[in-house]
């Protein structure tokens, strides 16, 4: 059996700045004015801030730091000695991170989510050892469009979620899967990952997206955020797809459909709140995700089945191997996940249209 690793607390230098404070402190004032930021960039800001706030935080990357934005940690002279460039060797990166965790450090391992699949064996062994490790997969889902399926990470939610279905040595989920929908969520959840003693995996996406939240929104592992409360249909989504679902709400309103929307940014999640809202919506649930099956829908469906209540749960997800596309709209339409397609599917569930 692999050895049990006991994480030792690292020295905390100061409290972390809020997201707006960090943006101003590191010279990104224009982001606040624009009102949008890619979650991968927000992760880069958070990682840099953690590097200053906690001397135990280390950053590792697999030759993609200019895309994951771990480069903002690397290029900061005050903390760059805790950055480790592991090149195109993801398995080695995870093994190095495991060694750092064994020494009481808090390693953040970043690369494209697609490339992290190469190290799944090492990730699972790290979980078995109780390692306090954090993984961040950039360019997740289908939103990178033109790069095609060779760069898209689509089975990752299902795989990492399976690790969260078992308890770790502390009784917590073996791994939390986090899918922030905007910059505020990505920043806050990165800080939450550092505070949690255990394994976490966070998906970030490439496109800039509008802010949905502000600094007063509280994010936590196992949590969710209710964006809209309705009475006809509960829509559940996470990450990039929250924005498409949010657009669909306006279309649904024009059809007379009063829909609820939950940003289920954490797996596993506390089920009671979601089940209560599902019941308030007549037990009608639509789960929307930009990955293969076994992820968000499976988690929601399992919770509904095990509750003993009567629910109708349907899924919109990537049901075919995607092709390259010229932009986000084209790839979303190709996979049946554009907000207009979400609207039509929701109307069909409620019997308002037949095709």
19-140+179-210 and 225-349 share one fold: yes
pLDDT band at 180 (very low <50, low <70, confident <90, very high): very high
pLDDT band at 355 (very low <50, low <70, confident <90, very high): low
Burial class (CB in 10 A: 0-12, 13-18, 19+), 228: middle
Over 70: is that where the pLDDT of 202 sits? yes
Give the CATH number of domain 19-140+179-210; options: 3.40.50.300, 3.40.50.970, 3.30.450.20, 3.10.180.10.
3.40.50.970
What's the confidence (pLDDT) of residue 144? 83
Residue 257 near residue 354, CB atoms below 8 Å: no
Residue 137 backbone phi and psi in degrees, to 5: -105, 110
Mean pLDDT over 230-244 rounds to 98
The pTM assigned to this predicted structure is 0.94
Q: Where are the domains of the chain?
A: 19-140+179-210, 225-349
pLDDT band at 109 (very low <50, low <70, confident <90, very high): very high
Over 70: is that where the pLDDT of 237 sits? yes
Q: What percent of the chain stands above pLDDT 90?
A: 90
Residue 107 backbone phi and psi in degrees, to 5: -85, 130
Give pLDDT tens digits for 284-334: 999 999 999 999 999 999 999 999 999 999 999 999 998 888 889 999 999
Looking at 250-339, which runs of residues are DSSP E strands?
A: 259-263, 266-267, 284-288, 312-316
Which of 41-55, 144-158, 269-283, 288-302 shows the lowest mean pLDDT across its residues? 144-158
Give pLDDT tens digits for 29-55: 999 999 999 999 999 999 999 999 999
Over 70: is that where the pLDDT of 213 sits? yes
Residue 190 backbone phi and psi in degrees, to 5: -65, -40
DSSP 93-114: HHHHHHHHHHTT-EEEEEEEHH
What's the confidence (pLDDT) of residue 148? 78
Q: Mind telling me the catalytic residues?
A: 90
- Look up the CATH number of domain 225-349: 3.40.50.920
What's the confidence (pLDDT) of residue 9? 55
What's the confidence (pLDDT) of residue 8? 56
Cα dist from 35 to 31, 70, 207, 306, whole Å: 6, 22, 13, 40
């Amino acid at each position: 059996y692999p050895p049990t690793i006991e994480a030792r607390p690292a020295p905390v230098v100061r409290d972390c700045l809020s997201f707006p404070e960090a943006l101003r402190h590191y010279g990104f004032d224009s982001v606040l004015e624009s009102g949008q930021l890619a979650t991968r960039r927000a992760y880069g800001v958070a990682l840099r801030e953690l590097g200053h706030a906690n001397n135990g935080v280390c950053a590792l990357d697999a030759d993609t730091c200019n895309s994951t934005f771990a480069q903002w940690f690397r290029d900061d002279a005050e903390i760059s000695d805790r950055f480790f460039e592991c090149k195109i060797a993801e398995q080695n990166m995870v093994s190095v991170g495991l060694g750092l965790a064994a020494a009481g450090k808090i390693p953040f391992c970043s690369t494209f989510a697609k490339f992290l699949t190469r190290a799944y064996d090492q990730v699972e062994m790290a979980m078995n050892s109780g390692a306090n490790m954090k993984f961040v997969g950039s360019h997740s889902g289908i939103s990178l469009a033109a790069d095609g399926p060779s760069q898209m990470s689509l089975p990752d939610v299902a795989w990492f979620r399976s690790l969260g279905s078992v308890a770790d040595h502390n009784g917590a989920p073996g791994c939390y899967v986090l899918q922030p929908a905007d910059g505020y969520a990505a920043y806050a959840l990165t800080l939450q990952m550092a505070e949690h003693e255990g394994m976490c995996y966070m998906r970030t996406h490439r496109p800039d997206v509008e802010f949905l939240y502000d600094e007063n929104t509280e994010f936590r592992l196992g949590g969710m955020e209710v964006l809209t409360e309705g009475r006809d249909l509960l829509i559940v989504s996470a990450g990039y797809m929250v924005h498409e679902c949010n657009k669909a709400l306006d279309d649904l309103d024009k059809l007379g459909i009063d829909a609820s929307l939950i940003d289920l940014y954490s797996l596993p999640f506390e089920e009671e709140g979601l089940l209560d809202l599902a019941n308030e919506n007549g037990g009608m649930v639509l789960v929307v995700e930009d990955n293969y099956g076994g992820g968000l829908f499976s988690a929601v469906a399992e919770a509904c089945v095990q509750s003993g209540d009567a629910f109708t749960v349907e899924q919109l997800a990537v049901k075919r191997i995607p092709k390259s596309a010229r932009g986000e709209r084209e790839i979303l339409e190709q996979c049946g996940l554009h907000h207009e397609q979400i609207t039509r599917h929701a109307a069909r569930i409620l019997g308002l249209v037949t095709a």
